[in-house]
Amino acid sequence: MGLTDWLWRGFSLADAVVTRRLEKLWITTPWLNALMIIAAKYTPIVMLAILVIAAANIVEVTTAEVSFVSVASSIVAALLIRALHEPVSRLTNRPRPFDTEPFEPLLEHERGESFPSNHAGGSMALACGALHLPFYPWLLLVLAILLCFSRIYCGLHHLSDVLVGALGGATCGVVCAFAGYAVVAHA
């Protein structure tokens, strides 16, 4: 058994333990279920609304040029990580937790291709892409973490799907943020 197989089995075991523990919470915490469903559904929209406010420079925290470039960097990073995730998802074709475990997820979703999580990647890319804005990245990062957790909690993704997606998104966001900042600094 190679290193890749060993790692994949280790992730799968950890993923199954996390999924089963969260399933038990579903029975005892209906208020948390409702909160996680709302977070999984609406956090991406809230994050984009925050970026629109930042781009419009309504709350003047920096120059309009820096605001626009930071928001553009965030959006480019989110689109880029989505494009990078697509072939990986198709290649691994990893089933979602509700495809292999005997439960229905809290939120309706189509089956298949859960690795890596596009929501985790996109949300972290949006948060890290706005790195050069004051205040906004922290708010976006909190929302991204909430979205990541909600995707696991609702039974839509395995823990490893979200961790890999978030790591890729954060990396892509930081790279795009610094590329955008370099453009502004040399203009």
Task: Check which CATH number belongs to the domain holding 92 and give it.
Answer: 1.20.144
Helix (H) or strand (E) holding 78, with range, is helix 64-92
CA distance 166 to 62: 27
CA distance 134 to 67: 10
What was the pLDDT predicted at 149?
A: 92
pTM for the full model? 0.86
What was the pLDDT predicted at 44?
A: 93
For the chain of 187 residues, list the mean pLDDT of each consecutive stretch of 10. 60 76 78 91 92 73 68 90 91 83 79 87 93 84 95 89 94 90 69
What was the pLDDT predicted at 69?
A: 79
What was the pLDDT predicted at 137?
A: 84
- The answer to whether the CB of 141 falls within 8 A of the CB of 127 is yes
Domain count within the chain = 1
- The answer to whether the CB of 122 falls within 8 A of the CB of 44 is yes
Q: What are phi and psi of 150, to 5 degrees?
A: -65, -30
- Give the residue numbers spanning the domain of 100: 3-185
What was the pLDDT predicted at 102?
A: 77
What was the pLDDT predicted at 185?
A: 65
